[in-house]
């Protein structure tokens, strides 16, 4: 497992306003532990503020701003949750277009907790099955998706693979699934 994502670069899209720290750091560690490269992409330069629920936690340096990169620079996308992060991302047209670009390009996307808000805004959940923090189920349904209450949901029926989970308690399953699905989506020669 140590080299399953060797040669794969994963964008983590985060707004400066605040991301749930564990939903950023745990998938990040798994990507790096399996040989992948993780890059923090944000709507602003400098650092992003992380939270433990509502309490300020650490800050993390931004590798690139969303307006300075292309979907072509990455093999997969992770959308961490928290309340403020996806709410801010869905109000930024560059962030929404970036997320939509991964779906359009057939590249895998993994989103946890409130992160599907960004995908809803990108209009890419129609006819897809996903899970999220329970309060988003009406939003998912109104956007034409099917919401399920599962630890992790994998939907490969659309142009890309969509991996979703409900909350930080689901991180072990989310992380294992994103490694498997991100590796599966890559060409045999890399």
> Would you please indicate which residues are annotated as catalytic (active-site) residues?
113
Of 102, 121, 113, residue with least CA distance to 53? 113
Residue 110: its H or E element: strand 109-112
Angle at 99 between CA 112 and CA 142, to 5 degrees: 65
Residue 163 three-state SS: strand
- How far apart, in whole angstroms, are the C-alpha atoms of residue 169 and residue 96? 26
Residue 162: its H or E element: strand 162-165
Identify whether the C-beta of residue 115 lies closer than 8 Å to the C-beta of residue 131. Answer: no
Identify whether the C-beta of residue 65 lies closer than 8 Å to the C-beta of residue 89. Answer: no
């Amino acid at each position: 497992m140590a080299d399953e994502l060797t040669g794969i670069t994963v964008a983590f899209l985060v707004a400066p306003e605040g991301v749930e720290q564990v939903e950023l750091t745990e998938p990040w560690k798994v990507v790096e532990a399996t040989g992948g490269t993780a890059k923090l992409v944000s709507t602003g330069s400098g650092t992003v503020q992380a939270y433990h629920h509502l309490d300020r936690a650490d800050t993390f340096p931004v590798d690139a701003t969303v307006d300075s990169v292309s979907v072509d620079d990455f093999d997969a996308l992770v959308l961490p949750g928290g309340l403020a992060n996806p709410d801010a991302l869905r109000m930024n047209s560059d962030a929404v277009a970036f997320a939509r670009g991964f779906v359009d390009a057939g590249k895998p996307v993994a989103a946890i907790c409130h992160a599907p808000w960004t995908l809803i805004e990108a209009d890419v959940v129609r006819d897809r099955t996903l899970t999220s923090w329970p309060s988003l189920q009406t939003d998912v349904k109104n956007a034409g998706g099917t919401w399920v209450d599962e630890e992790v949901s994998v939907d490969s029926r659309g142009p890309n693979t969509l991996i979703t989970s409900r909350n930080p308690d689901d991180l072990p399953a989310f992380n294992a699934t994103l490694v498997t699905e991100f590796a599966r989506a890559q060409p045999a020669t890399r």
